[in-house]
Structures are given as structure tokens and as C-alpha cells.
Amino acid sequence: MKIKDILNFFDIDSNDENEIINICLDSKKCSKGSLFIALKGTKNDGSKFIPEALKNGASLVLSETKANGAYNISNIKERLTSFSMWFYGYPNKKLSLIGITGTEGKSTTAYIISQVLNSLKSKNSLLITCTEGIENSICVKNTTPYGNELAEIFNYAVNNGYKYVVMECSSIGISEDKLKGINFDLVSLTNLKEDHLDYHKTKKIYHDTKINFIIKQAKKLVLFDNIKQLKKIANHFDENNLTIIDSSKIEINNCQSTLSFLYDGLYFDTKFIFKFNALNIVLAYEALKSLNIKEFEIIKAIKEIKPLLGRGEVINTDPLVIIDYAHTASSFENIVKEVYTISNDKKIIVVFGAGGEREKSKRAIYGKIALKYCYLPIITSDNNRNEDFSCIANDIVKKHKDKFLIIKDRKLAIKWATSILSSNHILLLVGKGPEKTMIENGISEYIDERKEVKKWLPK
């Protein structure tokens, strides 16, 4: 696309015939023909990286703040998604977009929907996810990518023959206008609990962010009947575009080894474990039904789906070792209670932490839950960022420091916990899930919890 056309989009006159071939927010990724967009972040102003972008060959620079060598577009952040979709020829309008939002269960629900769609037809659905190694998926850094990255992914999906794109819609992504102007054919709401209050400040703002997104940008909606704001949301949808799931129709048969259950008289046999996954599976099932997929095809496909990496993932059976991504108070309680339920009097060792510079209110809750259900709670690092680890640990233990083992180095904590395991123990690693980096003082350290466990398991 010509520079003059891009500038004209922003109401700037230009006759520049030079071509732009891509959009970059990272100055390091710029090359000849790149458009560099400098956004103002919470800690850094992208305008500081304009010289680097130009040095690397950027042919055009747009900046949210005034800067030399750039056109100033003060509202570029809120217009980024609509501009990016326009730049790539509106690929969002050539796909069936399925969005999953809510506090917990987004990743697993999105994964199940995409896996079922691909079981019906090769390369039918492209999944946008933070989990690596999934066929027919694009792995992204942020749960909801910026608009330029989304447009690039959508364009890839169109060019490679995909019909559906399934993605998670996070509250922060919505608040930062990453999804502005994108309409979804279907949105599934997992639940509305509490998360990201360090960003949103109040539970109401957090809930309203998701609700307003659903009301404004979803054509069809699937949700459970136990969501408090059900009436407020449902009033905006006609009955043909609304599915309300009766949660009382879910009857768990077994989850000691793998999860099987009845829903609305239908039998689901799965490779998943833990009761809470029944909710994710039913939500995915009803979402797929609303896309006119046949019931028996969905149930048959679900039976073959393996659990998502890092979400209640069993990485060793004897002794039992489980990895989970839980990072909210309710999801932490869910996984710890579920493991306790299937423990058969085995002693639970839990290795966990809490994110630095994030909601401090949930830290003590983590500690209380760990003490209630676990034989040995080990507190360790979990993205300390720029906060002192000892402050995080003290918030977790409160007045019960003598009942916890505190090991700052997560690799060392895993080594210690793994090396003492016997068949009478269960090891639960919480917080990292599929993530393979630890962030402290601006430095990212690689960590693969699966490899760490296998390295130190008793032979």
C-alpha cells in the first residue's frame, strides 16, 4: 500500500508513492517498507524507539505523541485495529470469528471449539492462543494481540483457507481497544468472577468491560444460567441468537482418572480430568451447536481431544505431578480442591507464588487455600517483575510463616519438591502452566517446568 493512501486514511495530504508492506509496533522488527507505529505505554513511550525504527529501514512513522521524524496521530491507539483491518483489506469480514471471554476457562474452551471444528474438516479453524505446539494455531505473546497483529493473523487465515478463527477476548485487550470495530459471529462467556483489579480498579468496571463488549460486538451469545448479570446481557439478544445453559443438567459420573459426565441426557466421555472442565466442555458443545454442528459429531470429537498443555496437565502418574496455570483466587481454589478430592489421602505438595505488581488482595487467599488442602505449601517466584519477592511471600503467608517453605528460585523449589516425592505424594505446580519465562527486574529467564520435574523425579 502506498504511503499517500495511509496518510490519507488519517486525513493527512500526501503524494508519496512509496510502498508500505507491513505494520510494526516493535522497532527491532522494522525493515525497508515497514510502517512503525509508536504507542505510548504505561512504562515506555514508543517515540523513544523511532530512531531505531528509522535506522532499521522504516519507511513511515506514526506516533501517538509528538516526535521528530514522525506524523503525530494522537488517537492512533484506538484507531490501530480499524486501520490495520483496512490496511489488510478487512480480513475480519471474510472469516467467522468466535470469541471466548470470561474470567476462567477461556483457553480450554477456545481450544476445544477449534479442535472440534478441525476434526470435521482439515484446516477449518485457526486458534489464536498463548500455548505453543497446537496444530492449526498461532501462538501469541498477549492473550489478545494488538490490532496490527490480529489483522495479520486474520489475513493469514483468509489466505490459507480457514473458515473460522477462535480467540480469547481479555478484559485488558478490550479496554485497550484491541478489538474495537471487530464484530464476532459468536461469543461464549465462561463466567464472571474477579481478575485484573490492579488494572480495572473495581470488580464492576471489570465486569462491565466484558458485558459491554458482548452487547456491542457479538451476534450470537452462549452463557450459563448462573451468571448474575444474565438478564442485563440477555435482553440485548433475540432467542435465535442466545443460548442459556442450564448448569443443573450437568451430572458428573467420574473424574478419578478421566472425566465423564451427563449433560441434558447426553453422555460425554473425555480425556480431561477435574470437574471444572465439564463446564468448559459444555460451553464449547453449545457454542458448536449454535454453529449448526451436529450433536453426535461434537461428542465424538470431544472424546478424542487431549487436555490443553498447562491446564490441569498430568505430566507424571506415579507419583502424580500436575501443572496448572491458575492465577486467580477462584481458579487457584478450584485446582487445589479438585486435586484434594482425587488425592485418596495422599499428601499434596503445592509449589506456587503470586505475580509482582499485581493484585495484592489475592495473595493471602492463596496462602489460606494452600494451608487448608495441602500437606506442604512451597512459596516461590511467579513473575516478580519489579517487586521484592520477600514482600510477595510475606503477603501470602501473613502470620503463618512457620507453616510454609519459602524458596525464591522456582527451579530450585521444583527440584526440592520433586526430589522428596514418593508414591504417597501428589505434586501440584501452580501459576506458570504453558508459560516458559520468568520476569524479574526487566529480565526474562527461561523455565520449562515439565523438563525441571522430569530432571529431578526419583528414578
Which pLDDT value is given to residue 303? 98
CA 385 to chain centre: 19
User: Residue-wise pLDDT tens for the chain (459 aa)?
Assistant: 999 999 999 999 999 999 999 999 999 999 999 999 999 988 889 999 999 999 999 999 999 999 999 999 999 999 999 999 999 999 999 999 999 999 999 999 999 999 999 999 989 999 999 999 999 999 999 999 999 999 999 999 999 999 999 999 999 999 999 999 999 999 999 999 999 989 999 999 999 999 999 999 999 999 999 999 999 999 999 999 999 999 999 999 866 689 999 999 999 999 999 999 999 999 999 999 999 999 999 999 999 999 999 999 999 999 999 999 999 999 999 999 999 999 999 999 999 999 999 999 999 999 999 999 999 999 999 999 999 999 999 999 998 999 999 999 999 999 999 999 999 999 999 999 999 999 999 999 999 999 999 999 987
Of 246, 281, 303, which marks where a domain is finished? 303
**Can you give the residue range of the structural domain that contains 29?**
3-74
Q: Cα dist. 427→326, 374, 416, 421 in Å? A: 15, 10, 11, 8
Q: Is residue 217 part of a domain?
A: yes
Q: Is residue 236 part of a domain?
A: yes
Q: Is residue 83 part of a domain?
A: no
Which pLDDT value is given to residue 93? 98
Q: Is residue 308 part of a domain?
A: no
* H-state helical runs in 263-402: 276-290, 295-303, 329-341, 363-373, 389-397
CA 284 to chain centre: 16
Which pLDDT value is given to residue 253? 83
- Closest C-alpha to 379, from 387, 391, 359, 104: 391
Do 140 and 219 lie in a common domain? yes
Of 20, 40, 74, which marks where a domain is finished? 74
Which pLDDT value is given to residue 459? 74
Q: Cα dist. 362→90, 327, 332, 333, 407 in Å? A: 41, 9, 10, 11, 20
Do 64 and 117 lie in a common domain? no
- Closest C-alpha to 147, from 175, 177, 168, 126: 177
Phi and psi at residue 223, in whole multiples of 5°? -155, 170
CATH, residue 70 = 3.40.1390.10
CATH, residue 401 = 3.90.190.20
Do 288 and 416 lie in a common domain? no
Instruction: Give SS3 for 85.
Output: helix
- Closest C-alpha to 355, from 333, 322, 329, 323: 329
Q: Residue 192 carries which side chain, given as an amino acid letter?
A: L
Which residues pair with residue 98 across a beta bridge? 166, 186
Instruction: Give SS3 for 203.
Output: helix
Measured CA to CA, the distance from residue 192 to residue 214 in angstroms comes to 13
Burial (CB < 10 A; 0-12, 13-18, 19+), residue 42, is exposed
Q: Is residue 406 part of a domain?
A: yes
Do 35 and 150 lie in a common domain? no
Measured CA to CA, the distance from residue 10 to residue 82 in angstroms comes to 11
Do 295 and 326 lie in a common domain? no
The pTM (predicted TM-score) of the whole model is 0.95
CATH, residue 215 = 3.40.1190.10
Do 39 and 114 lie in a common domain? no
Q: Is residue 320 part of a domain?
A: yes
Do 171 and 260 lie in a common domain? yes
Measured CA to CA, the distance from residue 176 to residue 168 in angstroms comes to 15
Of 282, 303, 324, which marks where a domain is finished? 303
Q: Is residue 12 part of a domain?
A: yes
Do 287 and 363 lie in a common domain? no
Question: Which H or E run includes 207?
Answer: helix 203-217
Do 292 and 219 lie in a common domain? yes
In the sheet that 125-129 helps form, which strands lie side by side, from edge to edge?
Answer: 137-139, 125-129, 164-168, 96-101, 184-189, 218-224, 242-245
Which pLDDT value is given to residue 146? 97
The torsion of the CA quartet 4, 63, 41, 439, rounded to 10 degrees, works out to: 70
Which pLDDT value is given to residue 432? 96
Residue 47 CB contacts under 8 Å (≥ 6 apart), including other chains: 38, 40, 63, 64, 65, 66, 67, 70
Q: How many CB atoms lie within 10 A of CB 353?
A: 28
Q: Is residue 342 part of a domain?
A: yes
Phi and psi at residue 274, in whole multiples of 5°? 80, 135
Q: Residue 335 carries which side chain, given as an amino acid letter?
A: I
- Closest C-alpha to 32, from 46, 50, 20: 20
Which pLDDT value is given to residue 144? 97
Q: Residue 301 carries which side chain, given as an amino acid letter?
A: A
Contact 258, 272 (CB under 8 A): yes
Tally of domains within the chain: 3
Q: Cα dist. 79→58, 175, 426 in Å? A: 20, 13, 50
Which pLDDT value is given to residue 43? 81
Do 8 and 127 lie in a common domain? no
Do 113 and 257 lie in a common domain? yes
Phi and psi at residue 21, in whole multiples of 5°? -110, -15
Which pLDDT value is given to residue 197? 86
Do 319 and 268 lie in a common domain? no
